[in-house]
Structure 1
Amino acid sequence: MRPGVTALSMTSLSLRLLRLGGPRAWTTAGLVGAGVAVASALLAVALGALHGLDSREARTGWRTPAAAAPGEPVIAQVRTRVDHAAGKPITQVDVVAPGPAAPGPATPGPAVPGATGPGPATPVPSGGTTAPPGLPRLPAPGELWVSPALAALLRELAPDALANRYPGPPTGLIGDAGLRFPDELVVVIGRPAGDPVLTAPGDSRVVPVASFARTTVPAEDEGYRQLTIVAVALVAFPIAGLLGASARLTATRRGERLATLRLLGASTRQITVVAVAETTVIATAAAITGFLLEALVSPLVARIPLAGGGWFAADVRPSVLVSVGAVVAVGLLATASAVGGLRRVVVSPLGVARRQQARGVRLVRLLGVVAALVVFAIGNSALRVVDVEAAGLVMAAVVLALFGAVVLVGPLVVRGVGGWLGRRESVPALLAGRRLQDDPRAAFRPLAGVTLAIFVAGFLAPLSATAWGATQRDDHTLHVRAGTPDQATTLLARAGIGADVRPAAGERSSGVDVRPVDPAELDRARTLLAPLAPGTLVQTDAEASGQNAVLLDDLRRGVLVVLVATFLVAATATGTAAAARVLDHRHTLRLLRLAGTPVRVLEQARMRETAAPLLVNGAIALAFGLLCASPFTAATGVLAPSGLIVLGSVLLAGTAAVLAATAASRPLLRSLTREDQERSL
């Protein structure tokens, strides 16, 4: 070829070869595109989860504002608590007008009335101050601002079940800018200075506020962020593996075509352009398709609840900048995969054309496994001392390191299993062993997705046992922090509510415990008993620890979401890689058929070259997964019923994915061998 051929013309040639390649080339390109599109869509979902948490914090951070510094002008005192009605949590934000009774900075709700902070802050008039997000102005004493969902609940329930707890009817609705999720129940109540809410006992803080723009992140929200980072890491590595595998699906076919161009005189730069153009264009177009697909299904993704509710659809869509960056990264990964496969073409194009290249794996990969174990040991020690803000990143690094160990050892296992099969007397076993030893890395690609899914199951199975095994607290007995049994009985009798009323028991030193005979009267009893302890919330034990219950529910749901995502990656990777492996080995299969090998024997060989290494790699992946979970729970948790369900479902789904992929590519195998046989006649 002429040395003056430009990169643009070589790019045009590459795309033209793809366009004129016929149905087989289009099928191969479709396999690459499908794998990259699915992986990109799942990557967009993972990035969207982190974006959603950031969006939530931006809208609701004002409920936990940073405390005003001593001497700084205070615009209000804020106390955020969680009430309940109809079995649903209601976020109650009390905004107290500044005045002489203002507490000092960040005083917790005192167990003893009258407790204050280090000193009073200087109050300022409430007029002209910046309003919290979602409100047109700072609420005045006696005003009541509610979310649309709470407004509907107020209309649905009887006044003595909910509305009577508040100073009056709603003044207005809170906008979306102040809500965590669309159906959130929120009430913002304006209180006068000196209101009992300032000194009422409880677990929440009374915070003097100088600006609603200065916020803090609650510990539970930061915990969700760290758990989400770990979940993203659990899904991100299989996604990256699927992206890389998809970009390498046509390595053999592309290598043959590039070797031919090299033998015809094309320069290294020219064949590099040809290889990069085809792979990068397909991968980039598929990545854009994947992100667009995630944007279309975002309303469905937004229905997956986390931290008490779903999402606004815009929350779970990554930002434009992040999306563009991710698409570019996918294109670069595809480019790197294409360039990486050029070395043997550039060095020995004749060997590629004759299929004489060796693709073995070296034992040096074991050094990577040792390095991963060192990272695990360091991360395990670091988890005991780092702050919660860094725990997720540390755990994500450990997960990625052990993921890498599983991927590094996989081809070595394939090579070892291939040697074992090669010593069998069975013809299918002999063929399978030979193919496994010829290219262990390519043989591992169809197994990588399922292997990583087993790793995820090994990590999640003991954790799910902890989440499902948590005990439930009493959800029917109300605790009132003040008053006597006689007072409570009198109030309930006037309303015709029967209840078992007793002095507070256990760790409670005062107040009464009330258990309505009819659980349906729980909200009415709660509302009637509130005046016995002004400024406090009347709750059950389960409601008081409601955040823990929500977290456990989210852990259970998160296990299912991560497993489903991993299954989807595994099924896609297995299916596309199995079909592409048939296409890449078309020449070998053709020669075997011409030599008289029955298709049935070829199919049995393919089954053996998949099942045997999968069993060994699966066992190794399971061990690494259990090791990864060991800092949080005992590995024996996998033997609990919920752990066995998680692990069993993954093993069954993984086996089904492998069998389905093998069966799905069987018609392709028969078609290729039949076509080649007909051409040879």
Structure 2
Amino acid sequence: MIGLALRLLRLGGRRAWTSAGLVGAGVAVATTLLTVAVGALHGLDERESRTDWRTPAVAAADPVAQLRLRTDSAAGRPITQVDLVAPVATAAPPPGLPRMPAPGEVWVSPALAELLGTLPADELAARYPGPATGLLGEAGLQSPDELVAVIGRPAGDPVLTVPGRSDVVPVAGFDVPRPAGRDFAMTDVYRQLTIVAVALVVFPVAGLLGASARLSAARRSERLATLRLLGASVRQVTVVAVAEVTAVAAVAAVVGVLLEWALSPLVAMIPLAGGGWFAADVRPGLLACLAIVAGVALLATASAVGGLRRVVVGPLGVVRRQQAQGARWLRLLGVAAALVVLLVVNAAMNVVSVDVVGIVFVAAVLAMSGAVALIGPLVVRLLGARMAAGARSVPGLLAGRRLLDDPKGAFRPLAGLTLAVFVAGFLAPMTSVAAGVSPADGAALQITAPAGATGLEGATRARLASIGLPATVTAVDDPRDRVDLTVLPADPAELDRARTALEGLVPGAVVQTEAEQRHEETVLVGDLQRGALVVLVAAFLVAATATGTAAAARVLDHRHTLRLLALAGTPLDALDRARRAETLRPLVANGAIALVLGLLCATPAVAAAKALEPSGLLTLGGVLVAGAVLVLAATAASRPLLRSVTAPDQERSR
């Protein structure tokens, strides 16, 4: 029977190949996006594994080095500076280095080496004890464009005692695994945010996979029902249905994974956490790729099997097109359950630990996304009944009846756009919060000295005067037993020269602006805005694919009815206006509901009213415009197909 199924697909003619192509296109796009989402999580794990050495296991005695991790800056870019004090030459070196750095040596990342060769020495190179000794390898870098300097320091170096925002760690060994239960790090924040972003994308992608597998459901059901009436057993019918859909979906899934691998250099250019990626980071492992392909094939199989019940139980009704595809009120129970999940998550957000907050939040995202998908066909059914009862024109009556007869099928082309609106409603208040974060001062340099330091102002002015750089200098005694020195260069372009000139003024201190001290926060805000844009683009890419393919497939699945209407004298323009009516009105209704549910879903993290701020309104407005354009484009693109299936010679060419 598998051979029969594949033969029916191979010899089915242009229509069979068109349907298979639509299924394959939808599955390939969905699989590519799903692989990108899984690749993002894989990339974060790879990054963390390469940078774990910067927060090593703490030694109780006899450390191999004293490590202090700090952030410097040059040319507006952060430089991760790793100071190793009194390193033991025979100990295992940090990843990416051939040996332990000796005091006075400076090992730099390739990107920092390039920057050192570009900037004048008085803007960067003069800060280090000597020229670059060698390059830090990929094994010790977060990203290919990361600026890193590993500096060997002698025993008793002032870097150990100077005030700062980081602690000194006695290193047990760079080859010694850290004990479990480490402190929460910024990487964990990104992992939790990525999990939420993946959840926002995965549900629309899964919906597209299911919709793609059912694109030619009507044509397939008729053929299988005919086989059933001719005496085929339930098992044989099941094998035929599953083999055809699974074969197309599996091939398309492999194409989708290969496409993601081919596009990984472009995906790797999307910055996150202050840098890009190595292309291998965003490529899931072989087992993960096999799991994605198997999962896609299983989902396609489940979709095919789910459509067999009517064929097995009532094949004659399928052939005669007597089965209605209603949407039951029972769906409201699912919506109520989703709201309960949201309330539970809202309460749990105040008590769960930070390292699992994203996973908890995903439960609300998936539940509310499911509510959007559940209530959609019911809204279509109610709207269809109202349109049919109050129709004043032929297109209105046709649209109402088609919605009422098959609300699930009518909602399928709208599901992607509806979920995209849900995603936009969820992200709108988030982007408003990110846009509202006030920028830090990036013009004045700050130096922190131990309490009791004297003559700092005079020494600072003398150093700046020696290079002819005017600046305003002030010193303030901080209540935390330290002295804070502020330097404001008259020319902002001279910031790096001033920073380099002041290197060593307070031995061991790093000279930074307030904005540079808050660099991680600034990067996180930018990543939130960029991530929201990426998720929205992904959601609308899914929506565009689903809308276009499902609109065309709906014409193919209803070609018999459309042809009969055309033969009865219904103008093509009336059929086309009916298609627009059965798309736009349900989309507006479901989009409004999805927007409300998206705003509700965001409430455990941020107030929904934030969506009314300029950034949120811009997001929502862009979504509405994009949604309208997609619907109109999908309708226009499938008009030639409508014309072809209603042509007079269409029946004879079958």
Q: TM-score w.r.t. structure 2 length?
A: 0.96
Aligned to 1:350: 316
Q: Aligned partners of 2:183 and 2:238: how far apart in 1?
A: 49
Change (3 A) 1:285 1:678: closer
Q: Aligned partners of 1:505 and 1:419: how far apart in 2?
A: 76
Q: Aligned partners of 2:491 and 2:415: how far apart in 1?
A: 56
Superposed displacement of residue 616, structure 1: 0.8
Q: Aligned partners of 2:160 and 2:326: how far apart in 1?
A: 72
Match of 1:82 among 71, 83, 88: 71
Q: Aligned partners of 1:675 and 1:37: how far apart in 2?
A: 35
Q: Name the SS for the 1:674 alignment partner.
A: coil
Tell me if 1:480 matches 2:447: yes
Match of 1:652 among 625, 635, 638: 625
Superposed displacement of residue 679, structure 1: 3.7
Tell me if 1:441 matches 2:408: yes
Q: Aligned partners of 1:156 and 1:502: how far apart in 2?
A: 32
Please list every run of at least 4 consecutive aligned residues from structure 1 whose deviation after the TM superposition is greater than 4 angstroms. 215-218, 505-509, 675-678
Change (3 A) 1:235 1:217: farther
Counterpart residue type for residue 210 of structure 1: A
Could you tell which deviates more after superposition, 205-214 or 55-64?
205-214
Superposed displacement of residue 657, structure 1: 0.7
Change (3 A) 1:599 1:177: same
Counterpart residue type for residue 502 of structure 1: T
Kindly tell me the number of residue pairs found equivalent between the two proteins: 643
- Return 5+ residue gaps in structure 2 as ranges: 450-454
Match of 1:503 among 472, 475, 481: 475
Match of 2:91 among 105, 125, 129: 129
Superposed displacement of residue 678, structure 1: 6.6
CA contact (8 A) 2:429 2:607 kept: yes
Superposed displacement of residue 633, structure 1: 2.0
Change (3 A) 1:221 1:74: same
Tell me if 1:546 matches 2:519: yes
Match of 1:278 among 244, 247, 250: 244
Match of 1:489 among 435, 438, 461: 461
Counterpart residue type for residue 390 of structure 1: V
Aligned to 1:249: 215
Q: Deviations over 1:151-208 (max 9, x none)?
A: 1111222222111211111111001111111111000011122111111111112111
Tell me if 1:29 matches 2:20: yes
Q: Aligned partners of 2:472 and 2:122: how far apart in 1?
A: 20
CA contact (8 A) 1:64 1:218 kept: no
Aligned to 2:130: 168
Counterpart residue type for residue 76 of structure 2: G
Counterpart residue type for residue 348 of structure 2: A
Tell me if 1:563 matches 2:536: yes
Tell me if 1:17 matches 2:8: yes
Aligned to 1:157: 119
Q: Aligned partners of 1:57 and 1:531: how far apart in 2?
A: 32
Counterpart residue type for residue 383 of structure 2: V
Superposed displacement of residue 210, structure 1: 1.1
Aligned to 2:369: 403
Q: Aligned partners of 1:375 and 1:449: how far apart in 2?
A: 23
Q: Deviations over 1:369-392 (max 9, x none)?
A: 111111111111111111121011
Superposed displacement of residue 632, structure 1: 2.2
Counterpart residue type for residue 590 of structure 1: R
Tell me if 1:615 matches 2:581: no
Superposed displacement of residue 504, structure 1: 3.4
Structure 1 residues 616-655: aligned runs within 5 Å: 616-655=589-628
Match of 1:513 among 469, 478, 486: 486
CA contact (8 A) 1:375 1:398 kept: yes
Match of 2:106 among 137, 144, 161: 144
Counterpart residue type for residue 50 of structure 1: L
Aligned to 1:373: 339
CA contact (8 A) 1:61 1:217 kept: no
Q: Aligned partners of 1:83 and 1:436: how far apart in 2?
A: 62
Aligned to 2:424: 457
Q: Aligned partners of 2:437 and 2:14: how far apart in 1?
A: 56
Could you tell which deviates more after superposition, 510-519 or 274-283?
510-519
Q: Deviations over 1:103-149 (max 9, x none)?
A: xxxxxxxxxxxxxxxxxxxxxxx243221110111112111100111
Q: Name the SS for the 1:242 alignment partner.
A: helix
Superposed displacement of residue 530, structure 1: 2.6
Q: TM-score w.r.t. structure 1 length?
A: 0.92
Tell me if 1:59 matches 2:76: no
Q: Deviations over 1:545-600 (max 9, x none)?
A: 11111111111111111111011000000001100000111111111111111111
Match of 1:537 among 510, 516, 530: 510
Aligned residues: CA RMSD: 1.6
Q: Name the SS for the 2:72 alignment partner.
A: strand
Q: Deviations over 1:594-647 (max 9, x none)?
A: 111111111111111111111110000000111111122222221211111111
Counterpart residue type for residue 291 of structure 2: G
CA contact (8 A) 1:32 1:283 kept: yes
Could you tell which deviates more after superposition, 212-221 or 87-96?
212-221
Q: Aligned partners of 1:299 and 1:569: how far apart in 2?
A: 21
Counterpart residue type for residue 241 of structure 2: A
CA contact (8 A) 1:480 1:529 kept: no
CA contact (8 A) 2:164 2:448 kept: no
In percent, how many aligned pairs have the same letter?
66
CA contact (8 A) 2:345 2:604 kept: no
Counterpart residue type for residue 192 of structure 1: P
Match of 1:383 among 349, 359, 375: 349
Change (3 A) 1:143 1:586: same
Change (3 A) 1:400 1:678: closer
